[in-house]
Amino acid sequence: MMPILLLILFLLPAVFALPASPINEDSYDLDASTHAVTNTSEGIWQPPLGIGWEIVLLAPPTTYDDKIPVYDIDVWDNPKETVDSRHAKKQKVVCYFSAGTWESWRPDAGQFPDAVLGNKLGRWSRGQNVERWLDIRADVVRAAMSARIAKAHEQGCDAVDPDNVDIHDNNNGLSLSADDSLNYVQWLIAESHSRGMAFGLKNAPDLLPSVMANVQFAVNEECVQKGDCLLYKKFVAAGKPVLHIEYPKGDDINNDPVPDEQMAAACAFMRSHRFSTLIKNMDLDEWVQHCQTGLTPVHPGQ
């Protein structure tokens, strides 16, 4: 018996030293977790880790893929009928709006006085369309954002995707700090939850530890490009999804697939950490390339 016992003791360290099984790439497909969405005890939707999704913001989508569980669309450009039609297909709808910037083309643009407007966002301010950072401390800004969240609720949105909450990390011209952004995000979360909608933290990974328990998912742009995807490690360990977008083509807007090498880099955290990764054009039109091996780029509406 002693030789057998010694053999077992010898083998145990090797057994526990074996690496964990890698995530099966095929287990993450457009049907993965389709409609396998859960709800919290408060009735707020909690999307599962690794859920498939699509985001189209440039204009209302011309077509929808009924196999995709979640669509992220603009709250201004898509009426309640669109949300209802997605619900009829058992899909969830995330409604996008900018929570940290003034956009000159929005219907409520006149509600923001000059005193709350900061620097322009150079990339997105073109021609008559101007975008400027907002003083998120101002009551008038919060009143307008509360109305936007109410609009999302009235349209039946399951969650909100408030953009530009990382205002402290940009040249805003308003002397806004990380504490200002955190206070604002916490307020946005409360506003969303009070209306029964889930909340996705857009970018701002430095704020994530302070709000992780209260947000249902994260939306990240270009963490592979920026090298900060590992900041979401604890978030996915908690079972919460990262809806992740990479823009390997940069400012080039076209329907060409990205090379295999770029695709592999963009999709690395989908494989290692179950990110919900999409490859998109920077303007977030309908062109999309999914990470699954062998899946060709999708060109809806063409």
* Rounded distance between C-alpha atoms, residue 170 and residue 200, angstroms: 20
CA–CA separation, 250 and 152 (whole Å): 30
DSSP 298: B
Amino acid identity at 18: L
Angle at 208 between CA 60 and CA 246, to 5 degrees: 45
Q: Where are the domains of the chain?
A: 26-290
Residues 195/149, Cβ–Cβ less than 8 Å: yes
Q: Which two tokens stand for residue 37?
A: 């969405």
27 contacts: CB under 8 Å, gap ≥ 6: 50
Q: What's phi and psi for 126, nearest 5 deg?
A: -135, 130
pLDDT values of the chain reduced to their tens digit, one per residue, 302 residues:
334 333 333 333 333 232 232 333 333 334 444 443 555 556 999 999 999 999 999 999 999 999 999 999 999 999 999 999 999 999 999 999 999 999 999 999 999 999 999 999 977 666 788 999 999 999 999 999 999 999 999 999 999 999 999 999 999 999 999 999 999 999 999 999 999 999 999 999 999 999 999 999 999 999 999 999 999 999 999 999 999 999 999 999 999 999 999 999 999 999 999 999 999 999 999 999 999 743 444 433 33
Is the domain 26-290 a CATH 3.20.20.70 member? yes
CB 25 within 8 A of CB 138: no
